[in-house]
Amino acid sequence: MAGAGGRKKRVGQYEVGRTIGQGSFAKVKFAVDSETGTAVAMKVLEKDTILTHRMLHQIKREISIMKIVRHPNIVRLNEVLAGRTKIYIILELITGGELYDRIARQGKLGENEARKYFQQLIDAIDYCHSKGVYHRDLKPENLLLDSRGNLKVSDFGLSTLSQKGVGLLHTTCGTPNYVAPEVLSSDGYDGSAADIWSCGVILYVLMAGYLPFEENDLPTLYDKITAAEYSCPYWFSDSAKSLIHRILDPNPRTRITIEEIRSDPWFIKNYVAIRRGEDENANLDDVQAVFDNIEDKYVTEEVTQKDGSGPLMMNAFEMITLSQGLDLSALFDRQQEFIKRQTRFVSRKPAKTVVAAIEAVAESMGFKVHSQNYKLRLEGLSSNRMSPFAVVLEVYEVAPSLFMVDVRKVAGDTLEYHRFYKDLCSKLDSIIWRPIEVSAKSTLLRTTTC
């Protein structure tokens, strides 16, 4: 979709669109390969930020590992590019959202559905281990779903690649509720056994809808993890309980192995073996080139084309990729009450009016507001006043006089973000467009997710 006010940016052969994700050190952009027409996710990192925070080794390791592990249930990394000031990581575009969102929406999954995801997770992790890669931060937030509902392991930022002659790992890392008890000790741990423990916690969460180990303070939480102090809810089948107990064994030496999981009666039910990952040697030349020349002035062409000073235009393909499984009803169905980390609403007010209204409401809610080019960042503290809470909002023109505001959590607790978003929508009610219901053929105009 083209029009006045649109701005396009190109990085090499990729036409870059809207931001679809944002973290402390990187943004993820929607992009299209102009040569093939393939939609991809482009992770953008600032070189200065990488150097300032001394993350060069960690990011190079993450990229290298993602090029090594090529499996149907792992997010694929296609290539790495370098610009004057940025590094661009080109990834497979996954449109089904996080597995975490499925749990948040449904509370818990049925045993058969949970088993399917667990089987795919084990397939992926088994392949990683066969390549000497240990993830070390497995949790539902790092498990994505593609448009067909298949699981994709992502975020290898804390992963490690084993080296010959190196025994146990000693770096304490991961998310507390999912971390294995031996990782908390100073005696070292086996990366494979630690990943298996995390897989067991994930299976429990999928079937229960809540964590097996959850406490408000870390010492108590660690005590429960170390003692494997948990109980299974009554709806777990006996065979599922048996497998979980063998996985959540606090002794890594007697904990079940992946080979043993594969022969477990509960696991093999309805199991469809997936083809192994690609065995060709990964070419890391582009990774080496990017990081060898990280301070070079210019490597990859970066071109920005501006057609005006209005908000970014969003084309139809980008709109489709907003929704899970390419189903547009997820974008505009106002009956949908579930709020994801990335949320959006639609307005027929002028874009400048929308921005002004958001600024006023955000300030009234106690946020510090940074606004530029129809993009706003709201910064504040979490409800416990102990950690930062930040949100980014961006205005897009999706049709003449029809604007979509995309809202993304950057920092803070997800449940707190849910409350924030509902409160924000209630205060912006005067600018949010809620049309009357129309025929099924007019799904695109049915309404917003607020």
Query: Among 394, 396, 315, 327, which residue's Cα sits nearest to residue 96?
Result: 327
Q: How far apart are CA 372 and CA 355, in angstroms?
A: 10
Query: What's the pLDDT at 171?
Result: 59
> In whole angstroms, what separates CA 423 from the centre of its chain?
24
185-238 pLDDT per residue, tens: 767 888 889 999 999 999 999 999 889 998 877 788 888 999 999 999 999 999
Query: Which residues have C-beta within 8 Å of that of residue 280, sequence separation ≥ 6?
Result: none
Query: What's the pLDDT at 352?
Result: 87
Residue 21 in tokens: 């994700």
The DSSP call for residue 195 is H
With b for 16 or more beta-carbon neighbours within 10 A and e for fewer, the 45-74 pattern comes to bebeebeeeeeeeebbbbbbbbbbbbbbbb
Q: How far apart are CA 92 and CA 167, in angstroms?
A: 33
- The list of the chain residues with pLDDT below 50 reads 1-5, 164-166, 295-301, 306, 317, 320-321, 323-340, 436-449
Residue 7 in tokens: 């701005």
Given the DSSP bridges, would you call strands 388-399 and 312-313 parallel, antiparallel or unpaired? Answer: parallel
Query: What's the pLDDT at 435?
Result: 59
Residue 241 in tokens: 């309980």
The DSSP call for residue 75 is P
Query: What's the pLDDT at 212?
Result: 92
- With tokens 């290539």, the residue in question is 79
Query: Among 308, 313, 328, 303, which residue's Cα sits nearest to residue 394?
Result: 313
Query: What's the pLDDT at 392?
Result: 87
Domains, the chain, with CATH or none: 7-93+285-305 (3.30.200.20), 99-268 (1.10.510.10), 312-434 (3.30.310.80)
Instruction: Return the axis-axis angle of helices 238-247 and 191-208, rounded to nearest 10°.
Output: 150
Q: How far apart are CA 3 and CA 352, in angstroms?
A: 17
Query: What's the pLDDT at 372?
Result: 82
3-class secondary structure, 407: strand
Q: Are 138 and 117 in contact (CB under 8 A)?
A: no
Give kind and range of the element (H or E) at residue 117: helix 111-130
> In whole angstroms, what separates CA 163 from the centre of its chain?
28
Q: Which residues are catalytic?
A: 137
Residue 43, marked binder: yes
Q: How far apart are CA 391 and CA 410, in angstroms?
A: 5
Instruction: From residue 386, give the alpha-carbon distance in Å to each of 246, 278, 380.
Output: 37, 45, 11
Burial (CB count <10 Å: 0-12, 13-18, 19+), residue 346? buried
The DSSP call for residue 160 is E
The residues that bridge with 434 in the sheet, in sequence order, are none
